[in-house]
Amino acid sequence: MEQHLLGACENSLVAVNNDSKLLRLQTLASIRSLIINPHTSDSTLSSLLETLTRSLQLPTADPLASHHSLKLLADLASRRPHLAPIILDSVRSANLLSADSPRLAVDALSALASISESDRNSPRIELDDQLFVSLCFGPSVTARLWLLRNAERLGLQSHVLFTVFLGFTKDPYPYVREAALDGLAGLCRNGVVLEDVGAIEGCFCRALELLQDSEDSVRCAAVRVVSEWGRMLVAANNEEDKRAWSDLVFIQLCSMVRDMNAGVRVEAFNALGKVQMLSEDVLLQSLSKKVLKIVKEKESVHRYPTERIKTFTSIAAGAFVHGLEDEFQEVRKSACHSLRMLVVLSTEFAGHALDLLMDMLNDDSMAVRLEAMETMHHMATFECLKVQETHMHMFLGTLLDNSALIRSTARKIFKLVKLPTLGLFRLSINGLLENLEMHPQDEAEVFLILFYMGQNHGKFASRIIKEVSQEVEPVCGEELVLDSARVAAFLVLSISAPLSRELGGQRIAHRFFSYAVTLLGRISSALRDIVDQNTLLVYLTQCSRSSNSFPMEVEGGALSLPVVDCVPGHTNLDVSTMSGIEMQQTGNGTSEEWSLTSCKLGDVAFVGEQLEEREKPMRVVNCILAKMKYLWQLVQSRCANQALKILRACKEEIAMVASESPEFGSAVAFTLQYIRVMKPFIRIWEHVVSKVQSYKVLQLEILFAKLDGRLREMRCRFVGFSKELEVHVLELVLVTSILKLSKLEICCYRDTICQLCDTISCLDSLQKDGSIELSIFVVEVKKTLPEVDTSMDFGCCSPLFKLVDLFTPKQINLSRRIRHISAEVEVLDNDAERPFVFVTGLPVSIPLGIMLRNVTTNNRLWVRITMSEDLTEYVFLDLVRLEVFDEVKKFKFVAPFYQTPKAVSVMLRVSIGMLRQQFANCSLHLSSSVIAFLCYPDLLGQTVERLFVWICASAYQSPSVGRIRSFRVRY
């Protein structure tokens, strides 16, 4: 087949040599098919290379044929890098670089540039300066446009590029002017420095002229040149003139924020945010439509460093007001981002800008609201956010926004902001409590922000706790009620106040710390990013015994909690300085909750050491799981191979934990299963989404089968999931189904759509009580799924494919509540030397020794005996009747097999299965199968068979994994 295609190619190219100028599209397609086919032999490629090279050297070659030949040669070099040097030499030797044929010369340059860039070892292309100028001034506008857009790839000197780009800014064709301006901006971005200030000023002035061009694209490019070369001009001048030039650049850019084209306005605001030095009066004028008095006084005497440019500061009047009131959300968003860059230049400017940003919190576009919030967060980071009482109503409203992203960003601002008065602090606390009441799923983040606010405003926090103490403490013999989210929030605020350096003469009553101990699991879950549970417990215990709530005095009279620098569970605290307590585990919550039973004075460092040593394996497990979040960044950066290497290292590390700490077997088993899930998931992602790896259909089908089976096994073989962990597993199922829909040749369309709907239903049921919040990825899939038709239409699924980029694995934290369901089975008193004897047609008994872990008596178990694909028997295991009630159940069971065949020998497969009631029609195989052989001797004139069972753990695994060994039955 290859030889036939190659012969057709040669015949067509010979026809070109005979001046017939025949290069059929079918021939081009055949040549390209040979190039892109990874299985094309090297000899065929060599012949094809020789044929294409010869076609370039023909004296009567058609320019169109040469164009196609060069394109094919470039494709061949990119697909076969080892041929790149040969192709490069062939194209260079064809002598196509001539000003007589600009189009052919441009085609040759394009091919040379592509080939040299595809092979790192190839020398960079260097075009003669004179030839470049000649081609640019040639009659072909297309060739001129390509040369200007790709000039930086041709190895030309910077002074030549500057001259050519500047000259063609006066070209009559707008696209050429745009390309020339983009070339000038690219020179500046690439670090080209001109020593002649006059040349820089001339380029800058030419860009100013083009700000009035009639073409929108040219004005956009001119704005970029004014920004880039304006910064170069500021840097090239002396210190006395730098600020004046910077003001000039800013004012000229402000003149473009009222342009008729929205794209030009966006470019103008993007450029305004890059100005790094400005006079305060110019900054303030950009926020006011009314010309300021100080500006009027300066305009009559102010002169800029050049007489060629005369301008007035009043041009900048109200620039940002116009941007924030623009009808296009892209312009408003760009104006907010530009303000973010400029607020650090002036405290007064930041105060006035905050008034405008507060109005943007009511914007119709969530993207604009979020950008305004990010700008205020930036101001808080640089300590230039001065919140006034007039702002609080609008600011607190963001805590009640329907968007979880807006609420989260608002809380981040409260984490950093410094409130000047008790009234503002009280309003902020009330706003966070309203957030907690309306959105209970935000509890963890609200508690964390309250902790930071108490630490930053210790004096105010102690006053608030004193005012609300009657809400926390019982009244007149009533019971103490601490299950209220509001009460828990006040306790978080109270335990953070002693960590402040501004507590003053106020003190927090020690009983509040005792109350907080009873909510340790709830509070520590919220504070897991800054302190671990053990450290927090010791801190609360010590504070609860101290009459003045200062168990440890450090510099400044404040406490210091150790910060977690890896993952939750890791601490650097020296517990030998703490007092001891006795603890007991209670509750069935998501986190482990501890109740205080008694407090004893004295040295109990041994208790703390025991606690830390006991939890060390779990910390290692959570540390490994924490790596998955950062590992996903490698996958998104198209470094999947590096991510898979990290997974292999994690697997080896978790194997060491399994050998040293068997009591943590369930957590270890889950971690191993999670790693096994991520391996095929990453490979599928790099094929379907990243497109950096190419798998055949069969290989991709196997990967999807592995991923589906392992996810199903993860959901079925583990119990004790927290809601967050269950939601994460369901998200993996969701994104797997969407990835599968992108390859309809390996999946059933209707079944996959049904699985998507079922997974969304499960997520909705988990969200009903409001304790969790679904990710943006799940929310968008819910919105898009009704638009997908259930008919076999691949195009209907395209909206779903666009959502996979929103998926990001969350950080998983395991507790000891997770349990792994497993089973082991062995055949008793049987081997190949002592087979079981049975009569054909009569039942035979198979004595089994079975061990079950974490299987309750409510589970429905079967022994499955399989002889062939069409013959399977099930025997029900009644654990109650067998009187097996221990956590680890060990017992003997005789399994009958009724359909003994009439054969010389046969092989059986025996396994344990369980039906999970929460997953309809979902059977789970718990154990590795055992293999049973039937054979017969001649006994008392009857045909009698013997059966012996051979344990073969590696021969069979769960069918959900997709690796079932085929066994041959011997007759």
pLDDT tens across 447-489, in order? 999 999 998 888 899 889 888 887 777 654 455 666 688 889 9
Task: Say how many C-beta atoms besides its own lie within 10 A of residue 703's C-beta.
Answer: 20
Pairing of strands 888-897, 836-839: unpaired
pLDDT, residue 930, reads 58
3-state secondary structure 870-932: CEEEEEEECCCCCCCCCCEEEEEEEEEECCCCCCCEEEEEEEEEEECCCCCCCEEECCCCEEE
Calpha distance 155→360 (Å, rounded): 48
**CA dist list (Å): 540 to 496, 500, 543:** 10, 16, 5
The two structure tokens encoding residue 775: 């990710």
Tokens of 490: 């006040």
Which own/partner contact pairs does 706-711 have at CB distance under 8 Å and 24+ positions apart? Answer: 706/680, 706/961, 706/962, 707/677, 707/680, 707/681, 707/736, 708/736, 708/960, 709/958, 709/959, 709/960, 709/961, 709/962, 710/673, 710/676, 710/677, 710/680, 710/960, 710/961, 711/677, 711/736
pLDDT of residue 170: 92
Task: Work out the burial of residue 450: count CB atoms within 10 Å of its CB; fewer than 13 is exposed, 13-18 middle, 19 or more buried.
Answer: buried
Which amino acid is present at 825?
V
Report, as ranges of residue numbers, the positions in the chain whose pLDDT lies below 50: 1, 12-23, 296-310, 476-477, 505, 547-613, 791-795, 918-923, 928, 933-971
The closest of 495, 490, 497 to 456, measured between CA atoms, is 497
876 and 861 Cβ atoms separated by less than 8 Å: yes
Length of the chain: 971
Specify whether the CB–CB gap between 601 and 519 falls below 8 A: no
Pairing verdict, β 942-951 and 938-939:
antiparallel
N- to C-terminal Cα separation, the chain: 46
- Write b or e for each residue in 251-272: b if 16 or more Cβ atoms lie within 10 A of its Cβ, otherwise e: bbbbbbbebeebbbbbbbbbbb
- Can you tell me which residue has the tokens 């000899």? 43
pLDDT value for 890:
82
Q: Which DSSP string corresponds to 298-351?
A: HHTT---S-TT----GGGGTTHHHHHHT-SSHHHHHHHHHHHHHHGGG-HHHHH
Q: Measure the CA angle with vertex 208, ends 202 and 210; round to 5°.
A: 110
Q: Give the position of tokens 């922000």.
A: 449
Tally of CA atoms within 13 A in the half-sphere of 819 that contains its CB: 13
CA-closest candidate to residue 516, choices 567, 470, 480, 569: 480
Return the DSSP state at 964.
Answer: B
* Partners of 826 in beta bridges: 849
Contact 738, 778 (CB under 8 A): no
* The predicted structure's pLDDT at residue 25: 56
Q: Is 807 exposed, middle or buried (0-12, 13-18, 19+ CB in 10 A)?
A: buried
Is 100 in contact with 131 (CB distance < 8 Å)?
no
Instruction: Give the CA distances from residue 664 to residues 376, 563, 587, 624, 661, in Å, rounded to whole numbers and listed in that order.
Output: 46, 26, 20, 14, 6
Q: How far apart are CA 419 and CA 966, in angstroms?
A: 72
User: What type of residue is 222?
Assistant: A
Instruction: Identify the bridge partners of residue 831 per DSSP, sorted by sequence position.
Output: 834
Between CA 200 and CA 207 the distance in angstroms is 11
CA gap 900, 839 in Å, rounded = 8
pLDDT at 293: 61
Q: How far apart are the C-alpha atoms of 733 and 923, rounded to whole Å?
A: 18
Provide the pLDDT for residue 349.
92
pLDDT by residue (tens digit) across 733-788?
Answer: 888 888 888 776 667 777 788 888 888 888 888 877 666 778 888 888 888 877 76
Q: Which residues contact 836 (CB under 8 A, 6 or more apart)?
A: 830, 844, 845, 846, 946, 947, 948, 949
The pLDDT of residue 227 is 93
**How many angstroms separate the Cα of 877 from the Cα of each of 143, 598, 743, 857, 915?**
81, 46, 41, 10, 12
In this structure, are residues 592 and 554 in contact, taking their beta carbons and an 8 Å threshold? no
Q: What pLDDT is recorded for position 546?
A: 54
Estimate the crossing angle of helix 174-189 against helix 158-167, to 10 degrees. 150
SS3 assignment, position 596: strand
**911 beta partners:** 864
Classified as helix, coil or strand, 31 is helix
How far is residue 780's CA from residue 756's CA, in Å, rounded to a whole number? 13
Residue 823 is predicted with a pLDDT of: 83
The rounded Cα 249 to chain-centroid distance in angstroms is: 38
Name beta bridge partners: 896: 845
